[in-house]
Chain A
Amino acid sequence: MTTATEARAPQAVSMRRILPPIVTGQEVVLLVVLAVLWVLLGIFTPAFLTPGSIGPLLVQVAPIALIGVGMTFVIITAGIDVSVAGMIMVSAVVTARVLVSYDVPAIVAVALAIVIGAALGALNGILIAYGRVHPIIITFGTANVFTWLGLRVFDSSTVNGIPSTLEFFGRGAAGSTLGVPHSFAIAVLAVAVAWWFLRYAKSGRNLYAIGGNQNAARLAGIKVQPRLVWVYLITGALAGLAACMIIATGTSTLDQSVGSGKELQVIAAVVIGGTSILGGRGSVVGTLLGAILVQTVVSGVTQLGWPTQLGFLFVGIFILIAVGTDIIRERARRARA
Chain B
Amino acid sequence: MTATTTTPAPERRAEPTSRVREWLGSGILRDRAVLLLALIIVLLVAMSILDALGLTSGTFNSDYLASTLIAYVPLALLALAELFVITSGRGGIDLSVGSMVSLTGIVFAMLYQQAGLPLLVAIVLAVLFGALLGAINGVLTAYLGYPALITTLATFYAYRSIALVVSEQRPISGPEISEFYNAAKAVELPVIGGSLPLVPLGVFTFLIPVAIVAWFVLNRTTYGRKLYAIGTNDTAAQWAGIDTRRTRMMAYVTAGAISGLVGVYTVAQFASARPDAGTSGSGMALPAITIAVLGGVAITGGIGKLSGILLAALLIVWLNASILLVVPGNEGAQAQLLALGIVLLGASLLSNATIRRRQAGAPRRLAVPATAPGAPK
Contacts and interface: CB of A to CB of B under 8 A. Distances in A.
B157 A131 contact: no
A82 B282 CA distance: 11
B68 interface: no
Interface of A: 1, 78-80, 82, 127, 131-138, 140-145, 147-148, 151-152, 156, 211-216, 218-219, 224, 260, 264, 267-268, 271, 277-280, 307, 309-313, 315-317, 319-320, 323-324, 327
9 contacts: A127-B345, A136-B299, A143-B282, A215-B365, A260-B282, A264-B156, A277-B147, A277-B149, A316-B161
Nearest to B349: A131
Given A151-B334, A323-B150, A311 B161 contact: yes
A23 B140 CA distance: 28
B352 A131 contact: yes
Contact of A213 (B145, B370, B372): B372
Nearest to A331: B145
Contacts of A80: 149
B373 interface: yes
A80 B150 CA distance: 12
A211 to B, nearest CB: 7
A219 B2 contact: yes
Contact of B352 (A133, A148, A317): A133
A156 B332 CA distance: 11
Given A143-B286, A144-B340, A156-B330, A312 B157 contact: yes
Contacts of B91: 277-278
B29 interface: no
Nearest to B157: A316
Contact of B341 (A143, A152, A215, A218): A143
A140 B289 contact: yes
Interface in B261-312: 281-282, 286, 289-290, 293, 299-300
B373 A278 contact: yes
B39 interface: no
A319 B153 contact: yes
A319 B335 contact: no
Interface in B27-62: none
Contact of A307 (B155, B165, B349): B165
B367 A271 contact: no
A316 B349 contact: no
A212 B368 contact: no
Nearest to B286: A140
B157 A137 contact: no
Contacts of A145: 337-338, 341-342, 345
A327 B146 contact: yes
A145 B343 CA distance: 10
A323 B373 contact: no
B162 interface: yes
B375 to A, nearest CB: 8
B169 interface: yes
A309 B334 contact: no
Contacts of A211: 372
Given A267-B153, A268-B153, A313 B162 contact: yes
Closest 9 CB pairs of A and B: A144-B341, A316-B158, A316-B157, A313-B161, A145-B341, A141-B345, A319-B154, A309-B164, A132-B367
Nearest to A157: B330
A135 B299 CA distance: 10
B360 to A, nearest CB: 14
B374 interface: yes
B348 A133 contact: yes
Nearest to A144: B341
Contacts of A319: 150, 153-154, 157
B369 interface: yes
Contacts of B348: 131, 133, 137-138, 141
A178 B293 CA distance: 51
Interface centre among B151, B337, B348, B365 (most CB of A within 10 A): B337
Interface in B129-187: 140, 144-147, 149-151, 153-158, 160-162, 164-165, 168-169
B191 interface: no
A193 to B, nearest CB: 26
A320 B341 contact: no
B170 to A, nearest CB: 12
B1 interface: yes
B289 A213 contact: no
A264 B161 CA distance: 14
A157 to B, nearest CB: 10
B356 interface: yes
A218 B366 contact: yes
B344 interface: yes
Contacts of B1: 1
B302 to A, nearest CB: 14
Given A145-B337, A148-B334, A212 B373 contact: yes
Given A134-B300, A137-B299, A309 B165 contact: yes
A260 B283 CA distance: 11
Interface centre among A133, A152, A267 (most CB of B within 10 A): A133
Contacts of B2: 213, 215-216, 219
B199 to A, nearest CB: 28
Given A127-B345, A132-B366, A309 B161 contact: yes
